[in-house]
Structure 1
Amino acid sequence: MPLIETLPVRPDTAQWPAWGTVARLVVTDPAVLDQAAGILRDELSAVEQACSRFRPASEIRDVCRSGGRPVIVSALLAELVGAALTAARETDGAVDPTVGGALCALGYDRDFAELAGRTVGSGVRVFPAPDWRAVRLRGRELTVPHGMLIDLGATAKAVAADRAAARITDRLGTGVLVALGGDIATAGSGPDGGWQVLVQDRPGDPSCTIRIPAGSALATSSTAGRTWGRPGELLHHIVDPATGRPAPTVWRTVSVAAFSCLQANTLSTAAIVRGHGAPRLLAGVPSRLVTPSMRILRTGGWPA
């Protein structure tokens, strides 16, 4: 994922490696920073245990091994799956949680920290995602068809950022910004003038510094941040569900501002998948799209 960082690291800021990226936390009350960091760490741990496809004992892996039988899941996993299914519905399947099998076939079958720099074998069968509508969620009863592998990577990180920011504000009364790589959520009262955020994918890429109001969110999806190779091609992690292959790199990055990180991430990911259709998808939405040649397209009032 891309790296979007608040500026600069200060005594009211904590950060650490998490989920193959950087978790960064900024609070308006430095006195509660340690407590806020504990809440964020707990939230990340809970989400990982619920839905990581890289952990054999995760709850979602148990469901996928259930042979298509209904399983009563935790409230957290039900929320995470519900968010993913909502994203699929709102994007007509462009953001699809059933791409897990396709990602494994492409070689993305382990935590990205272990995959980075690795060349996977050629001749791997690649297949489109099954129909996301075959996944059934009724309250906390989840049914995943036999043989389907769920991947919540497109939405779970955004949900975690939203949840953690809200929990920190509710419990500690501080304004907060939570950044998980390219997924940023805020809650509570922000600094005067809003939160200052540097938007840049990789070193040397075009950058801009913007201010987002308290309570808003920002997400960036990238075809350059998580890549790996196999003979003759470079792959990235945003899969087009219709083909089971990485989406064509019409856009290097897409950044979207919204009122929740989940909504922002849903739109930025869908824009990568839609390719040349992204500007129409994002019409009226504050967005910044960067082409592989580093040309910048701004929509919906994104600051120049």
Structure 2
Amino acid sequence: MPLIEALPVGAGTAQWNVWGTVARVVVTDPALVPDAEGLVRDELAAVDGACSRFRDDAELRRACTGGPVTVSPLLAELVAAALTAARDTGGDVDPTVGGALCGLGYDRDFAVLTGCEVAPAVRIFTAPDWRSVRLRGRQLTVPAGVLLDLGATAKAVAADRAAARVAAHLGTGVLVALGGDIATAGPGPAGGWRVLVQDRPGDPACTVRLPAGAALATSSTASRTWGRPGELLHHIIDPRTGRPAARVWRTVSVAAFSCLRANTLSTAAVVRGHDAPALLGGAPSRLVTPGLDVLRLGGWPA
């Protein structure tokens, strides 16, 4: 996953575990680290309460009832982002794969799931079409029996929102990293934010510089895995099959001017497989094969 290779001179940082990954906030003014961390934690807590698939009290759980429900502005934003990602990718990034993920055993927080010695028996689900979900303003209708999973986009939206909130409230340059999702806001350090892109130790590495306001997302078929020997699964679902996408790419990294857009493209590229380059077009992208060969597109630096 992307990491901050070196802190800008005079910057400060805080990090903690959340959602089965690591949250990190970096601000150009180190005196503002405690306030920035508090703002980011508050934002992540709000997103978790709105759309966690693993909390019985999450608002999204109550909204998946089969009838129209008036939801909070935050949940409406998160669902709208997921539906936009689905539309922009021709359904490659589909929020209605929640049932498929549960059937594959991903039915609890990933930090808990990885502690299981044996994964539940695999059941195959065909994901319903994202177009069956209706959102009109704040009125959400999810067909009966459909379980939404916003994981493919909500973490990216959370990174965008958290970075924007810190910059607006504190007037500082900020980088927020949630695992493979990075968003920046406010004035950046001289020369941009220096980010090391590497999924795991030993994998090919590349350092990029993100200008202020830019974002980066990395989707991986190697990082969030579970199962048994000979049956290793990952979390990026091909909606056409209800199964993990074929491992054509080990990781896909994309830069954009919102983390949501970068994550939409990186996730869809994993699902699209061999057709990913056509999907990505001119977006700065870095694709790594299971054999660790690297394909760079859209001006991604060598």
Asked whether the equivalents of residues 117 and 228 of structure 1 are also in contact (C-alpha less than 8 Å), the reply is no
- Indicate the residue corresponding to 1:302 in structure 2: 300
- Indicate the residue corresponding to 1:29 in structure 2: 29
1:190-224 superposed Cα distances (whole Å, 9 cap, x missing partner)? 00010000101011111111101000000000000
TM-score, normalised to structure 1, is 0.96
Give, in angstroms, the shift of residue 125 of structure 1: 2.5
Give, in angstroms, the shift of residue 233 of structure 1: 1.1
Asked whether the equivalents of residues 11 and 27 of structure 2 are also in contact (C-alpha less than 8 Å), the reply is no
Q: What code does the residue aligned with 2:71 have?
A: V
- Indicate the residue corresponding to 1:204 in structure 2: 202
Q: Are 2:277 and 1:275 equivalent residues in the alignment?
A: no
Q: What code does the residue aligned with 2:46 have?
A: A
1:29-48 superposed Cα distances (whole Å, 9 cap, x missing partner)? 11111101000000000000
- Indicate the residue corresponding to 2:135 in structure 1: 137
Q: What code does the residue aligned with 2:201 have?
A: P
Asked whether the equivalents of residues 226 and 232 of structure 2 are also in contact (C-alpha less than 8 Å), the reply is yes
Counterpart among 229, 249, 254 of residue 256 in structure 1? 254
Distance 2:285 2:11 in 1: 31
Asked whether the equivalents of residues 252 and 291 of structure 1 are also in contact (C-alpha less than 8 Å), the reply is yes
Residues 192 and 53 of structure 1, relative CA distance in 2, 3 Å threshold: same
Distance 2:226 2:123 in 1: 17
Asked whether the equivalents of residues 217 and 253 of structure 2 are also in contact (C-alpha less than 8 Å), the reply is yes
Q: What code does the residue aligned with 2:5 have?
A: L
Q: What code does the residue aligned with 2:276 have?
A: A
1:108-166 superposed Cα distances (whole Å, 9 cap, x missing partner)? 000000111532233x3312210101101001000100000000000000000000000
Structure 1's unaligned 5+ residue stretches are none
- Indicate the residue corresponding to 2:164 in structure 1: 166
Q: What code does the residue aligned with 2:96 have?
A: T
Distance 1:11 1:194 in 2: 13
Task: Report sequence identity in percent.
Answer: 74
TM-score, normalised to structure 2, is 0.97
Asked whether the equivalents of residues 121 and 231 of structure 1 are also in contact (C-alpha less than 8 Å), the reply is no
Asked whether the equivalents of residues 195 and 208 of structure 2 are also in contact (C-alpha less than 8 Å), the reply is yes
Distance 1:240 1:207 in 2: 27
Counterpart among 183, 186, 204 of residue 185 in structure 1? 183
- Indicate the residue corresponding to 1:16 in structure 2: 16
- Indicate the residue corresponding to 2:50 in structure 1: 50
Distance 1:287 1:225 in 2: 19
Matches within 5 A, 1:100-179: 100-118=98-116, 119-122=118-121, 124-179=122-177
Larger mean CA deviation between 202-211 and 181-190 belongs to 202-211
Distance 1:113 1:192 in 2: 36
Distance 1:215 1:128 in 2: 38
The 4+ residue runs of structure 1 with deviation greater than 3 A are 8-11
Distance 1:117 1:246 in 2: 20
Structure 1 SS opposite 2:87:
helix
Matched length: 299
Asked whether the equivalents of residues 195 and 213 of structure 1 are also in contact (C-alpha less than 8 Å), the reply is yes
Distance 2:11 2:80 in 1: 37
Asked whether the equivalents of residues 43 and 164 of structure 1 are also in contact (C-alpha less than 8 Å), the reply is yes
- Indicate the residue corresponding to 2:287 in structure 1: 289
Q: What code does the residue aligned with 2:162 have?
A: A
Structure 2 SS opposite 1:155:
helix
Distance 2:266 2:91 in 1: 14
Give, in angstroms, the shift of residue 11 of structure 1: 6.0
